[in-house]
Amino acid sequence: MDMDPDASESDARGPSLGRNMAATVVLTGLAILAAAPFAPADALDDARARGTLRYGGDMEGGAPYAFPDPDAPRAVTGFEVEIMDRLARGLGEDVRAEFSQGQWDKLLWVLDSGRFDVVVNGYEWTPGRAEDYLATRPYYIYQLQLMGPKGSPVRSWDDLKRPRPDGSPWTVAVLTASAADDFARGRDAGAIRVVRFDGATDAMLAVQNGQYDFTLQDVPAASYYAGAFPGLGPVGPPVSRGYYVIYARRSDTALRDALDAGIGRMAASGELRRILEKYGIWNDLQNELATSFEGPIATPSSSRGARGWRLVLHYGDRLRAATLVTLGLSFGSMPLAMAIGLAVALGRLHGPAPLRPLLAAYVELIRGTPLMLQLYVLFFLLKLDPWVAGIAGLAINYSAYEAEIYRAGLQAVPRGQMEAALALGMSRWQALRRVIVPQAVRIVIPPVANDFIALFKDTSVCSVVTLVELTKEYSILANGTRDVVEFAAAAAAIYLAMSLPLSWFARWSERRLGAEGAKGGLA
Amino acid sequence: MIEVDGLVKRFGAVEVLRGVDLSVGRGEVACLIGPSGSGKSTFLRCLNGLERFQEGRVTIGDVALDAGQSDRDHARAARRICRRAGMVFQGFNLFAHETALQNVIEAPMRVLGMSRDEAVERARGFLARVGMLHRLDARPRELSGGQQQRVAIARALAMGPEVVLFDEPTSALDPRATGEVLSVMTDLARDGQTMIVVTHAMGFARKAATVVHVFGDGAIVESGDPDRVFEAPAHEATRSLLSEVQAA
C-alpha cells in the first residue's frame, strides 16, 4: 500500500517528522480497514450517537420471543422485544431498540457483518459461542420439553431408550442448530433419529401431522404454541437447562457490560419477572435470574481442538453424505422435470384444443409460485415422505421452466420439417417423435444444461422438508464450529465440482449432436 | 386419377383460389405455371391436405378431401392421400438430423412397415437413380442445394407414390443445380411417373409436360398442350407471363 501523497509532501516540519506522520496515517488507516467489518469504536457509543440499538432476531415461528404483533402486524412484539425496549432506554434517554430480521441459525454471522449490534433471540449460552462473542448474564433460564401426540403410549425419555415396536428409531423433530438439536443428538443414536427443521413451528406441525413422532422444543415456545397445536402434549418433565443470553461482538465490551448491568437491574427490580409473566413463561426456576448472577457467565479457557481446514477434513464424511443427498435430489428430479416439461410443451403445441389452456395455466401457476411453498404443500399438506416431496417438488417446479424451453425449441424447428413428414404419410405423432422432437432436443441442450446447474443449487431449498443436503450440512457445521469461511469454501468447491462436469457434458453433447446438424434445409 | 372440383381457398377475406377444376390422368405430367401469387403453390398444398380449403373436393383414387370434413376426417384422409402422393418442396425440407439414407428409409419403415434391410436396399436404388449413391451418409447441411433436392426426390419416390407433387423444386437453386434436378425430373416423366409440377422453368414445362395449366389470379385461365400454349397463348395473362420470362 502506498503512503498518502498529501501526508508525505506536506513536509514543513522536517523530513523525519513528516515520515512519522505519514506512517501514523497509514497505520491508522490499516487499523480502520482491519476493523472495518466490526464497528470502528465500541458499538455502545454508536448506538447512543444514532439513538438506536439494533438487535437481530427471527420472527418466523418466533413467538413468544419476537413475532409479528397481532394487533399491529407491521410491528414486532414478544418478551425479548419488551426486554430490549427497556434495556435500550437504560443506555440513554434517547436510545430506542430496533428489531432487525435475520434467519435464526445465521444471526451470529450477520452480527459479524455489522448489520446489527447484538443478537437476542433465544440464543443459548454455549462455551463455543462464548469464546467467539461476548455474552451477558442470562435473561431467561430455559429447559427443553419433549412434545408428542396426545395419548401417545410414550410417557418419558426412558421409553425412548428402546426403539419403536417395529425396530425403527423414534423420530425427533428439532430446530436446526438449537439447543434441542444438540441435546437430541446426544441421546442414544440407535433409538432416536433427529430430523432437522428450519423453523420451530414447522417441526411442531410435522409431529401434529403424524409425520414424525416427537418434537423437542424450548419451554417458552412449547408453552406458547400449545394452543396452536392442540394435538400435541408434553411427554415427561422438562429436561436439560440452559441460559438465554445476549451476544455482542468481541470488540464491544462496553456495550455488553451496559446490557449486562441492565439485565441485572431488571431482574432485581422485578421488571423482568413482570414481562415473563405477561407471556406466561415465568416459573420458579427464573428466581435464580436475580439471585445467582452478578455479571456475565465466565468464559471458559479455550477447549477447542482442530480448527479450520483440518476441521473440514474431520467432518468429511458428513459433507460427503450431504453431497450424495444433493446429487440424489438433482439426478432424481431433473430427468422427471425434462420428461414432464416435454409432455407439457407437446400438449400445448400439438395437443387437443381444450387441454392447451390448462397446460398454459399449469406453467404459469408452477412458475409463478415459490419452490419452497410447493415443497410445503407436498410435505405438510400431502404428507409425503421427505425424499418423495423433495424430488417431486423440484421435478414439478422445474418442469414448468423446461416446458417453456421445449416449447421454444419445438417452435424453432422449421415448419417445413413437419410438412415433409406429413407429406410422407407419417402421423402427427410419428412426425413429432421421429423428426421434430429429436431436432428440438438438440436446440435446447444449452438452456436445459443451464437449468440443471441451477437446480443443483436449488436443491438446498429441500432443507425445509428436513433433507440435510449440502447447503444445510454446511450451515449446521459452520454454525457448530463457527469456521464459516472454511466450510463455505468447501461447500462452494463441492458445488463447483458437481456442476463443472455437467457443463462439460453439455458442451460435448452440443458439439457431437451439432455435427449431425440441428439446422439444415435452406441454410 | 386425380380429380379436383370447384376448389375455393380463402385466407381470411382474401380468396386465393376461386373455384379451380383440374383432372390429371395416370402417366400425365401436368405443369402449373403462372405469376407469383397466382395461387398455384397453395393449390398444390390443398391436393395432399397440407392446406384445408373452404369449398370443393379433391379425389385421388378412392380417397377424397372435402371442404365439409371434420378436422379429424380431413387429417385421416390427408394421411391416406400422402401415402399415394409424394411431395417435393421448394426448400427441400430434408430431415436435418438424419443422413441422406436415413431420410429415404424413414417413411418406408415407419409408414409402410418395411424392414430396415428392405428399406435400405430400395433406398439405394432410388438414390442411385438421382445420382446420390455416393453421399449416403452425408447430412443435409453437408450437401449442396441441388444434391439435397435430389435426395428429397428419392425420399418421395421411396414411398412408391402414384403421383409426385413438385412445388417449385428448382426455385431455390442456381442454374447448374437446376439443370441436375430438371434432368432427374425429365427422366421420371419419361418413365411414366404421374407428376404435377408447379414451376417457373418454362423450358422444362415445354419439353416434359403432357399438359400445361396457366394460373392467373386464383383460377386456371388456360390449359392445353405445351407447344400450343407456348406458341399461341390464348389468354392475355399467359402472354404477359411468357413475355416476362423471355425478357428475364
The answer to whether the CB atoms of A517 and B93 lie below 8 A apart is no
Residue A204 contacts residue A145 (beta carbons within 8 Å):
no
Tell me the shortest Cα–Cα distance from A410 to chain B, in angstroms.
14
Cell of B67: 371442404
Task: Tell whether A439 lies on the interface with B, counting CB pairs under 8 A.
Answer: yes
Please indicate if any CB of chain B lies within 8 Å of the CB of A426: yes
| Euclidean distance between CA atoms B87 and B208, whole angstroms | 18
Query: What number of helices (H) and strands (E) belong to chain B?
Result: 9, 10
The nearest alpha carbon in chain A to B149 belongs to A521
- Tens digit of pLDDT per residue, chain A (523 long)? 344 444 333 333 333 444 444 555 454 444 444 444 444 568 889 999 999 999 999 998 788 999 998 888 889 999 999 999 999 999 998 999 999 999 888 899 889 888 999 999 999 998 888 888 999 999 999 999 999 998 888 888 888 888 888 888 899 999 888 889 889 888 866 788 999 998 889 999 999 999 999 999 999 899 888 889 999 999 989 998 899 999 999 999 999 999 999 999 999 999 999 999 999 899 999 999 999 888 888 876 665 566 778 888 888 899 999 999 999 999 999 999 999 999 999 999 999 999 999 999 999 999 999 999 999 999 999 999 999 999 999 999 999 999 999 999 999 999 999 999 999 999 999 999 999 999 999 899 989 999 999 999 899 999 988 899 999 899 888 877 778 889 999 999 999 999 999 889 888 888 887 655 444 333 3
Identify the residue whose cell numbers are 465466565: A298
Calculated CA dihedral for residues B94, B95, B101, B102, nearest 10 degrees:
-160
B139–A516: do the CB atoms touch at under 8 Å?
yes
One digit per residue, pLDDT tens: chain B, 248 residues?
A: 899 999 999 998 899 999 999 999 999 999 999 988 889 999 999 999 999 999 999 999 899 999 999 999 999 999 999 999 999 999 999 999 999 999 999 999 999 999 999 999 999 999 999 999 999 999 999 999 999 999 999 999 999 999 999 999 999 999 999 999 999 999 999 999 999 999 999 999 999 999 999 999 899 999 999 999 999 898 888 888 888 877 65
**Separation of alpha carbons A245 and A447, rounded Å:** 49
Among residues B97, B82, B1, B48, which one has the least CA distance to residue A409? B97
Which amino acid makes up residue A237?
A: P
For the residues of A1-40, what is the DSSP string, one character each? -PPPHHHHH--TT-HHHHHHHHHHHHHHHHHHHHHTTS-S
Q: Any CB–CB contact under 8 A between A254 and chain B?
A: no
* Shortest Cα–Cα distance, B106 to chain A (Å): 9
DSSP character string of A223-261: HHTTTT-TTEEE-SS-EEEEEE--EE-TT-HHHHHHHHH
Question: B-contacting residues of A 375-414, CB under 8 Å?
Answer: 414
Relative orientation angle of helices A79-91 and A271-278, to the nearest 10 degrees = 160
Distances (CA, A) of A472 to A104, A197, A275, A320: 13, 10, 35, 13
Q: How many residues does chain B have?
A: 248
Q: Which residues of A touch B50 (CB under 8 A)?
A: 419, 422-423
Most distant pair of Cα atoms in chain B: their distance:
54
B48 contact residues in A (CB cutoff 8 A): 423
Residues of A in contact with B107 (CB under 8 A): 421, 424-426
The string of pLDDT tens digits covering residues B146-204 is 999 999 999 999 999 999 999 999 999 999 999 999 999 999 999 999 999 999 999 99
Angle in degrees, CA B29, B31, B35, rounded to 5: 175
Say if the Cβ atoms of A521 and B94 lie within 8 Å.
yes
Which grid cell is A327?
A: 446429487
Q: Which residue type, as a one-letter code, is found at position B3?
A: E
Q: What are the distances in angstroms from CA A7 to CA A19, A24, A28, A34?
A: 8, 10, 13, 21
Residues of B in contact with A440 (CB under 8 A): none
Distance CA A400, CA B156 (A): 39
* A352: contact with B, CB 8 A cutoff: no
Q: Does residue A238 have a cis bond before it (omega within 30 degrees)?
A: no
Contact A521 B83 (CB under 8 A): no
Residue of A nearest to B105 (CA): A424
Q: Please spell the DSSP secondary structure of B110-166, one letter per residue.
A: HTS---HHHHHHHHHHHHHHTT-GGGTT--GGGS-HHHHHHHHHHHHHTT--SEEEE
Asked whether the whole model's pTM tops 0.90, one would answer no
Which chain B residues touch A if contact means CB-CB below 8 Å? Answer: 48-50, 75, 78-80, 82-83, 85-87, 89, 91-97, 106-107, 110-111, 139-142, 145, 148, 152, 155-156, 159, 172
Distance from CA of B54 to the nearest CA of A (A): 20
Residue of B nearest to A420 (CA): B93
Q: How close is the nearest chain A Cα to the Cα of B77, in Å?
A: 10
Q: Nearest CA to CA, how far is A403 from chain B (Å)?
A: 22
